[in-house]
């Protein structure tokens, strides 16, 4: 009998070790497949450099750099390399707003005229919720298609917050607030002004104090091309097949709340873990942020507060993409699979497609997703 009790624990330990070894071997095999896929995509899209982070159950299982973060100096991308977020930064702006909501300093249904002195009469029905969900009707200053917004903002000019609001206020609304959905960077710029007004802090300082420092996101910050930023990459454009440096943008326009952040794979993994653990905000706040917006007619649109809401083969996804100054990014969280993937590139959005890359990599880890087009949840 004693021999049985000796052998049994050894058997259990051996089985556990085999299971652990199998899991590690599986991850290594999948990692090699990902490397092969990314190398092919970089070659096909002519992407100078790419950084990838794969998180499972809130922990990094792969963090890898590919190609060059600086072509002129021949510097390779590594996991610490800093990229720009573009509009992925909107989820941090939305988080800051919800912190102020929880503190009773803002209400989602407040009219923005309560906080924005320069709000014109046409904005009288626009709420904070409308700005968060892109249902305000305020035209997108960054749109190439909307003729109303042409030349309303000169990217070579430094504007104050007040000047930006005044310029947006000159534009007629695209639709009545809450009646439609239309992406508006202008709305998130105004949210940054609102955060400043209510908290007494520039929104970037608010994020640094209330979000980045508590989560030890030590490499994440507002864009500054003047400061010395370790591990910063360079952004590029393809012009008639020839690689060019990113275009110059006025410094203050690189500090607005529609997505002007630096970060890297390692810090995004910390952010993903915080989201998984419902850190910083109450559960009810996250539920509001991740719910499709309800329009005036009762229909919904698959966008929350700084998050796109989608699914693939009944796998729910929260995600967002971003592009700015020769950088692109995508961050997708496959909720039921407890799998999150972040992809950064340093090539313009016309030529690099990080959302596609993210979804394809997800399908390597979750084979059910293979050959499945992402569908938005209505």
- Measured CA distances, 290 to 53, 133, 327 (Å): 22, 11, 26
Question: How far apart, in whole angstroms, are the C-alpha atoms of residue 231 and residue 229?
Answer: 6
pLDDT-derived band at 372, boundaries 50, 70, 90: low
The distance from CA 216 to its chain's CA centroid, rounded to whole angstroms, is 18
Cα separation, 97 vs 132, in Å, equals 9
The secondary element (H helix, E strand) that includes residue 4 is helix 2-45
- At residue 146, the pLDDT reads 61
Least confident of 89-98, 144-153, 209-218: 144-153
Q: What is the pLDDT of residues 343-358, one digit of tens each?
A: 999 999 999 999 999 9
CB atoms within 10 A of CB 124: 11
Identify the sign of the CA torsion 269, 275, 277, 280. Answer: positive
3-state secondary structure of 169: helix
Picking from 258, 287, 252, 262, the residue whose alpha carbon sits closest to that of residue 134 is 258
Q: How far is CA 19 from the centre of its chain?
A: 35
pLDDT at 378 over 80: no
24 vs 34, residue with greater confidence: 34
- Please determine, for residue 24, whether its predicted confidence score (pLDDT) is greater than 80: no
Contact 253, 155 (CB under 8 A): yes
Q: Is the confidence at residue 84, as pLDDT, over 90? A: yes
| pTM given for the model | 0.91
Q: Is the pLDDT of residue 167 over 80?
A: yes
Backbone angles phi, psi at 311, to 5 degrees: -155, 155
Q: Which helix (H) or strand (E) holds 173?
A: none
Cβ atoms of 113 and 124 closer than 8 Å: yes
Nearest-angstrom CA–CA distance, 260 and 89:
7
Residue closest to 261 by CA, chosen among 229, 285, 289 = 229
Give the Cα separation of 291 and 215 in Å (integer). 24
Convert the pLDDT of each residue in 304-331 to its tens digit. Answer: 999 999 999 899 999 999 999 999 999 9
Of all helices (H) and strands (E), which one includes residue 145?
none
Among the ranges given (121-135, 145-159, 234-248, 287-301), the one the predictor scored with the smallest mean pLDDT: 145-159
Distance CA 55, CA 59 (A): 5
**Tens of pLDDT, residues 252-284:** 999 999 999 999 999 999 999 999 999 999 999
Q: What is the pLDDT of residue 26?
A: 80
């Amino acid at each position: 009998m004693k021999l049985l009790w000796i052998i049994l624990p050894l058997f259990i330990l051996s089985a556990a070790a085999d299971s652990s070894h199998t899991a590690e071997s599986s991850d290594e095999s999948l990692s090699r497949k990902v490397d092969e896929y990314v190398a092919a995509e970089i070659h096909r899209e002519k992407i100078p450099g790419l950084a990838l982070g794969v998180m499972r159950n809130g922990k990094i299982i792969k963090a890898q750099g590919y190609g060059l973060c600086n072509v002129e100096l021949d510097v390779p991308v590594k996991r610490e390399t800093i990229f720009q977020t573009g509009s992925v930064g909107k989820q941090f702006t939305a988080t800051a707003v919800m912190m102020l909501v929880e503190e009773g300093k803002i209400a989602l249904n407040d009219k923005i005229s309560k906080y924005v002195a320069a709000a014109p009469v046409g904005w009288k029905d626009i709420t904070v919720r409308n700005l968060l969900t892109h249902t305000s009707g305020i035209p997108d200053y960054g749109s190439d298609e909307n003729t109303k917004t042409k030349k309303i903002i000169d990217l070579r000019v430094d504007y104050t917050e007040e000047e930006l609001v005044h310029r947006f206020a000159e534009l007629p609304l695209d639709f009545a607030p809450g009646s439609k959905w239309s992406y508006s960077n202008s709305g998130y710029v105004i949210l940054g002004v609102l955060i400043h007004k209510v908290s007494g802090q520039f929104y970037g300082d608010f994020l640094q104090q209330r979000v980045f420092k508590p989560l030890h996101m030590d490499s994440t910050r507002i864009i500054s091309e003047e400061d010395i930023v370790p591990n910063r990459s360079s952004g590029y454009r393809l012009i008639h097949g020839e690689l060019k440096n990113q275009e110059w943008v006025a410094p203050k326009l690189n500090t607005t709340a529609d997505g002007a952040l630096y970060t890297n794979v390692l810090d995004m993994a910390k952010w993903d873990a915080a989201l998984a653990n419902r850190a910083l905000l109450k559960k009810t706040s996250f539920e509001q942020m991740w719910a499709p917006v309800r329009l005036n007619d009762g229909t919904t649109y698959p966008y929350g507060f700084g998050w796109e809401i989608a699914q693939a083969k009944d796998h729910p996804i929260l995600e967002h993409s971003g592009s700015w100054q020769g950088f692109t990014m995508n961050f997708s969280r496959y909720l039921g699979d407890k799998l999150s993937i972040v992809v950064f590139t340093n090539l313009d959005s016309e030529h690099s497609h990080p959302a596609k890359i993210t979804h394809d990599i997800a399908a390597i880890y979750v084979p059910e997703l293979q050959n499945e087009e992402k569908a938005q949840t209505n």
